[in-house]
Amino acid sequence: MNILQQRIIDDGEVFPNNVLKVDSFLNHQIDPHIMYSIANDFYQHFKSAGITKILTIEASGIAPAIFVAQKFDVPMLFAKKKEPSTLQNQEVYTELVHSYTKNTDSNIIVSKQFLNADDKVLVVDDFLANGEAAMGLISIAEQAGADVAGVAICIEKSFQNGRQRILDHGYEVYSAARIASLENNQVRFNDGH
């Protein structure tokens, strides 16, 4: 069991409808040790892939993504969920993304200035469930003509279809913790832990 899995067991809380709350260390209060350890794990896995840019989405993706960017020594770029006034007169890549947690649709937006066909992109996010955010980020990278090296995820809910959507689209998914089930308020990981 890695340190993220152990922390999920120790401090994660399971709620009805397959909700796993990890906001004591991952997406509200954040433990920089855990986050750095995850980022280092992603780096070890993708270090030979020629990554030029880390792409994530606000807000919970930013903390893991900035550590990953530091490890790779490349810029991090985060997609914004609606068009802020300082981007209004610029050309942007955009994609519609549905949030099942919040039951809202957002346009996610990245300035064309910062992503192009010379880039090799690693997509990073805190959670993978239905894959909406990850597929949105992939679409943005593809709109830019960039290569996608893969998708790196802190916690994957492997019982939902996000991983399969990304695999079907032709890209690798690498997750620091893969959760097979949250049934009976119990966290069970894919590797049998």
Q: Which residues bind its own copies (CB under 8 A)?
A: 15, 19, 21, 23-25, 28-32, 35-36, 58-59, 62-63, 66-67, 69-70, 73, 75-78, 80, 84-87, 101-102, 110-111, 113-114
Q: 77 vs 152, which CB is nearer to its own copies?
A: 77
User: Is 184 known as a binding-site position?
Assistant: no
User: Is 63 known as a binding-site position?
Assistant: no
Q: 80 vs 165, which CB is nearer to its own copies?
A: 80
Distance in Å, CB of 191 to its own copies, minimum: 26
Distance in Å, CB of 190 to its own copies, minimum: 23
For residue 79, the 8-state DSSP code is E
Closest listed residue to residue 57, CA positions, set 115, 107, 21: 107
Distance in Å, CB of 58 to its own copies, minimum: 4
Q: How many CB atoms lie within 10 A of CB 142?
A: 15
User: Is 145 known as a binding-site position?
Assistant: no
From first CA to last CA, the distance across the chain in angstroms is: 7
User: Is 129 known as a binding-site position?
Assistant: yes
Alpha-carbon distances of 59 from 10, 27, 79, 102, 144, rounded to whole Å: 24, 8, 9, 14, 22
Distance in Å, CB of 72 to its own copies, minimum: 9
User: Is 50 known as a binding-site position?
Assistant: no
Beta strands, E only, 39-91: 53-57, 76-79
Q: 80 vs 178, which CB is nearer to its own copies?
A: 80
User: Which residues, listed in sequence order, are joined to residue 147 by a DSSP beta bridge?
Assistant: 120
Q: 58 vs 168, which CB is nearer to its own copies?
A: 58
- Retrieve residue 166's tokens: 């990304």
Distance in Å, CB of 32 to its own copies, minimum: 4
Packing angle, helices 62-72 and 32-46, rounded to 10:
50
User: Is 131 known as a binding-site position?
Assistant: yes
Residues 6+ apart with CB under 8 A from 63: 30, 35, 126
Residue ranges of the binding site for xanthine: 20, 27, 157
Residue ranges of the binding site: 20, 27, 129-133, 157
